[in-house]
Chain A
């Protein structure tokens, strides 16, 4: 079974630009969560989508948005990029919509804002 894939793996953008990152979950998984990892901060939860609906949202400004398609693939968008948005963005997929089940992480997209 193929794992979680994220594209692109690396990205360099300029302040003020916008960026879209993509995540394809494991086949059959319907929940996709996004996390931001910065040095010394661990992973911080951005949002979670299930069946094309955002179910949870972390404490990030409105510049961070996402969506999920009917095939469960998800995209996240960051508008008006700031230097502090430089981070590793990870997505994780899980199979069920209720209760707890293991989250499988992708390798991440490394975003550098200059």
Chain B
């Protein structure tokens, strides 16, 4: 039973345009959501996070939106750059579980020059 789902295994976007990566979850006890980026042969690196009490968090070109009623979060990258091409994972943390993250299966983003 996948509690965090990324239904799009891949996404291609033109350089300079917006990339929107989506993630759905089922467990209402998640209180913190994160996005990680992973390049081949490297471990995931933290990108941006959002607490369940917020609906938006921005960091430069990256914005995460959380819709609790729909149990949906999305990552917007504007403008997209070729260096953004990587696998993006969304992850969620259960209330009271400080270190255990539940990850989605990832979305391969390709930004075309």
Contact = CB atoms under 8 A, between A and B. Distances in A.
Given A40-B105, A105-B43, A48 B100 contact: yes
| B interface: dominant SS | loop
Given A41-B105, A45-B101, A58-B100, A100 B43 contact: no
B99 A43 contact: no
Interface residues of B, number: 24
Nearest to B41: A107
Contacts of B105: 40-42
B97 interface: yes
Nearest to A6: B43
A21 interface: no
B93 interface: yes
Contacts of A48: 99-100
B32 to A, nearest CB: 6
B93 A100 contact: yes
Interface in A65-114: 90, 92, 94, 97-100, 102-108
The 3 closest A-B pairs by CB, nearest first: A105-B43, A43-B103, A42-B103
Interface of A: 4, 31, 33, 35, 40-45, 48, 50, 55-56, 58, 90, 92, 94, 97-100, 102-108
Interface of B: 4, 6, 9, 32, 36, 41-46, 89, 91, 93, 97-106
